Structure 1
Amino acid sequence: MRIIRFLNENLVPTLAALTDDEKVYVLPHRDFIELVQVAEEQGSTPLSLIEGIMATSNPLDGAASDLNLIVPIEAPEVWACGVTYERSRDARNYEATGGKLDQSTFYDKVYDAERPEVFFKSTAARTVGPNQNVYLRSDSTWQIPEPELGLVISKSGKIVGYTIGNDMSCRDIEGENPLYLPQAKIWRYSCSIGPAIRLAETVEDPYNFDITCRIYRDEKLVVEGSANTGQLKRKFDELITYLVRDNEVFDGTVLLTGTCIVPPNEFTLEDGDRIEIEISRIGVLNNPVKSQVGKSVGAQ
């Protein structure tokens, strides 16, 4: 069972359940977190609550693909983890050494250390949803998407859902100096989430999600890569433990768990590209790529 949000005919954000056979049932809740909280108050689960609603209602007419989907949760904060896959460590070493892969760097230490890399990524205002534009940073010449499984967590750190995230990154800025990481990761509309949230209780094995990233230029496939969350070096509980330690975390926070798919070193995103990130049992997150040139604050 997945949760989506869409704009109805009056352009009002609407929460809905999306079944595995693509039927859509409108839910009488403001957002995903309210759904989770109501289920807890009733001593139930989100899935049981939804099944009760479905038993007394009819699905929407038409296909789910015809809906005007928006970001499935307005996450108050998005955090992210780095160097959680061997491929990510190798890519970071390449950036930091100018391609001298025989040199050991601090990324090797992070990969093997007890403490994971956890960093702040985005806010609701900086985050876009499915089919919305992600933007290139104007002072970088080497930019890529980072396709990642996202954990939707409660303020206690409990995983309540799984989603898809795109952690847009500037490889040149991060490679120049690790202290530049915030600038390499955080800028206007540099994060996307969606198109749905898979209920955690419906996932038997979260370490068996297949992840595929495709990048199109002039609608021709130019980059494609695949991975599986079974390749993760660290467990989700470990990453969450460090995020919530001595930290205030809000209901609906999203934690991106790192990437194992990195485009070729000679590749950089360009204005007009299109990114597709697919994760099994969640869906496909599609985002066109735009430059910041001529863009006003708040425009989309």
Structure 2
Amino acid sequence: MSFLSESEQQGTWLGRVWRPDYQGPCVVTLRDGEVVDITSRTAPMVRDICEMDTPAAYVRTAPGDVIGTLGEICANPVGSEAAHFLAPCDLQTIKACGVTFARSMVERVIEERAAGDPLQAEQIRARVGDVIGDSLRNIEAGSDEAAKVKEALIQEGLWSQYLEVGIGPDAEVFSKAQVLSAVGPGAQVGLHPMSNWNNPEPEVVLTVSSQGRIVGACLGNDVNLRDVEGRSALLLSKAKDNNASAAIGPMIRLFDDSYALDDVRKAELDLRVEGRDGYVLEGHSSMSEISRDPEDLVRQTLGAHHQYPDGLMLYLGTLFAPTEDRDVPGEGFTHKLGDVVTISAPGLGRLTNEVQLSTNCPPWRFGPSHLMRYLAGRGLL
């Protein structure tokens, strides 16, 4: 089954497919339902196209060879001896933003403070509201209103380092995964075996050039180990960067007349988790509720203070945090092996992955040095 609807296929798409005849990746686009290999000496990598002045215009006219229909290649298992989709990025650094939906973060902390008692939560919310008015429902991070929220929450004993990055002037931006380590549609996503409390995080992922220009977007699963990070914020890297812990895809939708950054700002993301035991979890995240504009997050990541010569992929954060009990009352949600996670958004398609342990997912063995040797061997460098 295709990961794009017929109407979505009309967009300008950029991705990567593993070609068994070359034993390596190729750069592809979609044309009339067919997957077209547009790899060339001009642009042997996705990174090269994203650095162009008009990536979408290049992709629409680049010569190439049809390697199959979208439905055929989507149906091929990842890792098989048939052509299959990979994560759509290659040399881009993979970064992620945290705590970018301040309203939900403040609400969650208030509820935790109330120990699950709705009446106490409402009382705390009312006391905070007396100081900050209605800005609790619409906080702009780093604003004067956010400063008032901070002061009110400190007085309530609710302040934390997470709320500092949620409504303070500085965003949380961390390294999510290594270059070329992300997995794509249909692949397994990995949980570190030390974790017993974890969840998916459905997000929009921006494609950003080395000059800080946002050239496209796709979907991502910022697999989250809640217990590991909860023990200490200094364990963030262990909680976030493990084998197969970053899913990106299904393809990059390049910005053009049909889809642009304003569409990202209005994006509505749906999450569905289906367990082998028949369990189903559904969730939703609205980008309109983000507390930091995507362009601001890019500016805080890339600039005179930090350069990314091959560009970057930037997860924008999520509003979704599953709290409903899966098994034991009071323990909330956590993954089980074999869960199938589908993240979807109109205009960006569907990203589906199966949950396994990082130690059991296919090991990451194709890094930048392997890519360079492969491209050189094909005479593309």
Q: Check whether the contact 2:244–2:358 (CA below 8 A) recurs between aligned residues.
A: no
The alpha carbon displacement at 1:64 in A equals: 0.2
| Structure 1 runs not aligned, ≥5 long | none
The alpha carbon displacement at 1:232 in A equals: 1.0
The alpha carbon displacement at 1:25 in A equals: 3.0
The alpha carbon displacement at 1:207 in A equals: 0.8
The CA RMSD over aligned residues, in Å, is: 2.9
Distance 1:98 1:33 in 2: 48
Aligned to 1:4: 15
Change (3 A) 1:98 1:191: farther
Q: Check whether the contact 1:144–1:168 (CA below 8 A) recurs between aligned residues.
A: yes
> What is the letter of the counterpart of residue 105 of structure 1?
W
Aligned to 2:221: 166
SS of aligned partner of 1:120: strand
Aligned to 2:270: 212
Distance 2:316 2:220 in 1: 9
Aligned to 2:50: 36
From 135, 159, 173, give the equivalent of 1:105.
159
1:46 counterpart = 2:55: yes
Aligned to 2:280: 222
Aligned to 2:322: 263
Change (3 A) 1:235 1:89: same
> What is the letter of the counterpart of residue 66 of structure 1?
E
- 1:1-300 alignment runs, 5 A limit: 1-8=12-19, 10=21, 11-19=23-31, 22-29=33-40, 30-37=44-51, 39-40=52-53, 45-53=54-62, 60=66, 63-67=69-73, 68-86=84-102, 89-90=105-106, 93=109, 104-106=158-160, 107-201=162-256, 202-204=258-260, 205=262, 206-218=264-276, 220=278, 222-245=280-303, 246-264=305-323, 266-292=332-358, 297-298=363-364
C-alpha distance after superposition, 1:170-205 (max 9, x if no partner): 111222222222222222221111110010234232
C-alpha distance after superposition, 1:95-141 (max 9, x if no partner): 98795776513233322211111111111353211111111111111
Give the TM-score normalised by the residue count of structure 1: 0.85
Distance 1:50 1:235 in 2: 28
Aligned sequence identity (%): 28
> What is the letter of the counterpart of residue 45 of structure 2?
D
In proportion to residue count, which structure has more strand?
1
Distance 2:365 2:345 in 1: 29
Of the structure 1 ranges 143-152 and 127-136, higher mean CA displacement relative to structure 2 is found in 127-136
Aligned to 2:78: none
The alpha carbon displacement at 1:53 in A equals: 3.4
Change (3 A) 1:90 1:191: farther
C-alpha distance after superposition, 1:123-173 (max 9, x if no partner): 135321111111111111101111110011111211111111111111112
Change (3 A) 1:241 1:96: farther
| Structure 2 runs not aligned, ≥5 long | 1-11, 74-83, 125-156, 325-331, 367-381
Change (3 A) 1:167 1:225: same
Q: Check whether the contact 2:284–2:320 (CA below 8 A) recurs between aligned residues.
A: yes
> What is the letter of the counterpart of residue 95 of structure 2?
W
The alpha carbon displacement at 1:85 in A equals: 1.1
Q: Which has the larger radius of gyration?
A: 2
Give the TM-score normalised by the residue count of structure 2: 0.68
SS of aligned partner of 1:124: coil
Distance 2:296 2:202 in 1: 20
SS of aligned partner of 1:262: coil
SS of aligned partner of 2:66: coil
